[in-house]
Amino acid sequence: MSELPASQMTDAEERRVLAADLVKLNCRVHQADDPPLFTREPKSSMLPLHWRWRDLAPMLNRAGTSLKLEAGGNRRTLRLTNPGLAYGTTPTFWASIQYILPGEVATAHRHTATALRFIMQGRGAYTTVDGEQYPMNEGDLVITPSWTWHDHVHRGDKPMIWLDVLDISLVRAMHATFFEASMADLQPVSEFPTRSWQQFGSGIMRPVNAPIHNGVNPLLVYPAQRSEEALSAAAKLPANPHNDTAFEYQNPLTGGPALPNIGTRLQRLRAGGRCLPQRHTGSVLNYVISGSGSTIVEGQRFDWHAGDFIAIPPWSWYEHANGSQEEIATMFQVNDLPVMKALGLHREEFLPE
């Protein structure tokens, strides 16, 4: 083939010949059978997925009895995987369910991946973040900003279960992973163990003489009681057609997302509430706190109950409905919209237009 005059070769042949000589220069030209550089719109390999609490619960108990929790910064978790992805629950984050037994210690470490905990079940555990210590109660959101030291200790008498979300797939794709295990299992607790809450927890008042935080969220905890107040205060307002009632956890200094790379929301569907379809760039994981209902993702219907998780791929049409005429349904939502927005990639559409 290569002895033919160049002019008699097809374009595909020309490209193959050129490519052969380019390999050693670490260059290539587009080949006829290469996938195109662009698709008209996002084509995610991530699959819409439903994890049922009734399947997860026995496995968590099994992990709790069969897996040890060793020092060195290890954790006992059940990771939510997506068969459409080589890594991560979604293209940007890993969601895992952490299980910790009475008396156990998840020893101190820090990493560049940002983390959050949303408490699913139990009481009596404490998380310490850069010396501040917060009790973990059902429905609380506790955050671990990038590179902050953190450890968890369980002083209660029943197993404790919480949702962890870390932007690990994003940080890994950026080749920006750092990790350090602490020499000491637990951090010393500071003189003002709930300082961030005492100073920034009001949500409507900003402390005048607070230190400069350079965009890092100074507030480490969002207690269930306060987020519930926001939802119930808005309960009698008209429903948003696409989200009914939804609040984003915010950085009290900027009004931006509580974490730079992970968006977090609390959403309530009133009894009988039905939302219209929407789609957006960025991925979503919903955790059903209470109630039951359904989510249709690109025509696929998932009927969910309390404790279930639903994953929604980027640019997929989805709509939620509360299946009950009597009971409200409440969901904790994790997304990567802050990443999309920061990179100028955020797009959204709502039906009907």
The distance from CA 304 to its chain's CA centroid, rounded to whole angstroms, is: 19
Residue 96 interacts with ligand GTQ (CB under 6 A): yes or no: yes
Residue 166: CB minimum distance to ligand GTQ, A: 5
Q: How many residues belong to the chain? A: 353
Cβ closest to ligand GTQ, residue 145 vs residue 291: 145
DSSP code of residue 73: T
Q: CB–CB of 130/148 below 8 Å?
A: yes
Q: CB–CB of 279/317 below 8 Å?
A: yes
Q: Name which position in 166, 171, 285, 328 contacts ligand GTQ (CB under 6 A).
A: 166
**Bridge partners, 333 (sequence order):** 265, 286
Residue 98 interacts with ligand GTQ (CB under 6 A): yes or no: yes
Cβ closest to ligand GTQ, residue 150 vs residue 154: 150
Cβ closest to ligand GTQ, residue 127 vs residue 333: 127
Helix (H) or strand (E) segment spanning residue 296: strand 293-297
12: Cα within 13 Å, side-chain hemisphere = 3
Number of residues that bind ligand GTQ (CB under 6 A): 10
Residue 75: CB minimum distance to ligand GTQ, A: 4
Cα–Cα distance for residue pair 224/260, rounded to 1 Å: 21
Residue 150 interacts with ligand GTQ (CB under 6 A): yes or no: yes
Cβ closest to ligand GTQ, residue 150 vs residue 279: 150
Q: Which residues of 237-264 are buried (b: 16+ CB within 10 A; e: fewer)?
A: eebeebbbbbbbbbbbbeebbbbbbbbb
Cβ closest to ligand GTQ, residue 153 vs residue 275: 153
Residue 111: CB minimum distance to ligand GTQ, A: 6
Residue 183: CB minimum distance to ligand GTQ, A: 17
Residue 98: CB minimum distance to ligand GTQ, A: 5
Cβ closest to ligand GTQ, residue 111 vs residue 279: 111
Nearest CA among 105, 98, 95, 92 for reference residue 260: 92
Residue 74: CB minimum distance to ligand GTQ, A: 9
From residue 34 to residue 73, what is the string marking binding to ligand GTQ with x (rule CB under 6 A)?
----------------------------------------
Q: Name which position in 48, 69, 77, 245 contacts ligand GTQ (CB under 6 A).
A: 77
**Bridge partners, 245 (sequence order):** 268
Nearest CA among 99, 105, 96, 144 for reference residue 126: 105
Tokens of 60: 């968590």
Residues that bind ligand GTQ (CB under 6 A): 75, 77, 96, 98, 106, 111, 115, 150, 164, 166
